Amino acid sequence: MPDPAAPNNAKKPMNEAVTDLPPDENQLIAERRAKLKALREKGIAYPNDFVRADYAQDLQEAYADKEQWSAEALLVLDRGVQMAGRLMAKRVMGKASFAQLQDMSGRIQLYLTAADLGDCYEAFKHWDIGDIIGVSGTLTRTKTGELSVKGKNLRLLTKSLRPLPDKWHGLSDVEQRYRQRYVDLIVTPEAREVFIKRSQVISAIRNWLDGQRFLEVETPMMHYIPGGATAKPFMTHHNALGLDLYLRVAPELYLKRLTVGGLERIYEINRNFRNEGVSTRHNPEFTMLELYEAYATYNEIMDLTEGMIRASAEKVLPSMQAHWDGHDIDLSKPFKRWSMTDAVLEHNPQIKAEDIRDLNVMRRHCETLGVRFKPSYGWGKLLLEIFEKTVEHTLIQPTFITQHPTEVSPLARANDLDAGLTDRFELFIGGKEIANGFSELNDSEDQAARFAEQVNQKEGGDDEAMHFDADYIRALEVGLPPTGGLGVGIDRLVMMLTGSSSIRDVLLFPYMRPVNE
């Protein structure tokens, strides 16, 4: 067989051309369109009959042992392969050439010769980086030890009309990476890895919950009444029914209706929509896990949350150690549990325990700290504002903040010993909220009173306050068993587990202002 050893210039980068300055992109596109036109004239543009049988990573793993699978052993094996993918690099050297093929699993080298390919070899010389090709042949190994496919047949499956970014620099413009994710995924292996891990995290969560006898359900995306969270909704209109509808801010009230109906362990992983600003932590459309377990308190839900996050970490991390925004985070130790009042008192020694429920004193503390507040805020809302200003960013290691004021927890069950607080928690990691959970309020009369107070706040100018949901009250009157609930921000969890600093890095298509092209 022909010697597949690389020649003396093997270390020269495989690329489209070596020039001091790249040609004008419009010129490159025009040249590629001309090539496509020639293919159309021959009637062979965009064939759809190539069948793929093998993947790069599978072959790399199966034949990784260079001693067992030497060039001689592979010749005897005569392992046929049939692969398809994108042409990412090429080096043409007379009658023998090398190329890199990239598929969904990884890359593998192609060894191509005029003797094996005939007329197709001459056509290959004019193919471009980014073209999608199919190749069939046998496995071999070069003298440098690289596993390769020795091509016997080669086909152009899709002509790429736009050149890919320079292989050494990739997409250096961050905004362009977000706007052209399809290009980013081709040329940035790290981006592909983040989204592979995102899928693995969601799969791990599903498997873990299914193993705990939870049932996955789906609830409406459009609501007659927005509810389940204090957030400003997006509004739309149903023409046929003449109804204003809202994209859901949370599935909570529908899921708890199902718990009333006897589905005692349920979860949903799906999108929520909130008409808020865009930042490194926020996107108006985001993914949430929300679950409910009958006959569980918020303490059991904290245990569940901790176990589920560890199961996710085991799937994508080599150990229970994560690195996020410059912090080393230890997920192996029990998560700290700390009441909001105690956390605020420790970080604000000027505030005394007896100050917490003194409205005037708390207002003065807010003014001293530069915390803005509205006249309608009670002591509970002021406590939350102080917590967010002075404590939240310090919670680097996993910490459950518990016992939120009733004023800021309209759907949580009041604490048996202190009606001003609720059996609620939020989980913070890396100074960011990851999860929110509580023992659910199942007293229909208490819930109706809290909805009424939310309506008063909305009439007072609070756009995020809840509406009064009479049907949900009716469901509670049928009877909601003692229940614990949980919401986990999937995007932020993936950010933590992949070390991503911006939510845009874990969203395939983050929201951005449109640009004129």
User: Predicted confidence band at 95 (pLDDT cuts at 50, 70, 90)?
Assistant: very high
Structure tokens at 20: 């001091």
Q: What are phi and psi of 328, to 5 degrees?
A: -90, 125
Q: Residue 23 has what pLDDT?
A: 57
Taking only the tens place, the pLDDT of each residue in 270-283 is: 999 999 888 888 89
Taking only the tens place, the pLDDT of each residue in 321-346 is: 999 999 999 999 999 999 999 999 99
Taking only the tens place, the pLDDT of each residue in 27-70 is: 999 999 999 999 999 988 999 999 999 999 999 999 999 999 99
User: Predicted confidence band at 169 (pLDDT cuts at 50, 70, 90)?
Assistant: low
User: Predicted confidence band at 167 (pLDDT cuts at 50, 70, 90)?
Assistant: low
Degrees to nearest 5, angle at CA 232 with 230 and 235 = 135
Architecture category of domain 25-164 in CATH: Beta Barrel (2.40)
Gap between the Cα atoms of 439 and 423, Å rounded? 6
- Given a cut of 80, whether residue 211 has pLDDT beyond it is yes
Gap between the Cα atoms of 209 and 202, Å rounded? 11
For 319, other C-beta atoms within 10 Å of its C-beta total 10
Architecture category of domain 187-335+398-506 in CATH: 2-Layer Sandwich (3.30)
Gap between the Cα atoms of 446 and 396, Å rounded? 36
Residues 6+ apart with CB under 8 A from 45: 36, 39, 159
Domain ranges of the chain: 25-164, 187-335+398-506
Q: Which DSSP state fits 163?
A: P
Query: What counts of helices (H) and strands (E) characterise the chain?
Result: 16, 18
Taking only the tens place, the pLDDT of each residue in 251-303 is: 999 999 999 999 999 999 999 999 988 888 889 999 999 999 999 999 999 99
Degrees to nearest 5, angle at CA 404 with 293 and 310 = 50
Structure tokens at 169: 């620099």
Q: Residue 231 has what pLDDT?
A: 82
Taking only the tens place, the pLDDT of each residue in 402-459 is: 999 999 998 899 999 999 999 999 999 999 999 999 999 999 999 999 889 888 887 7
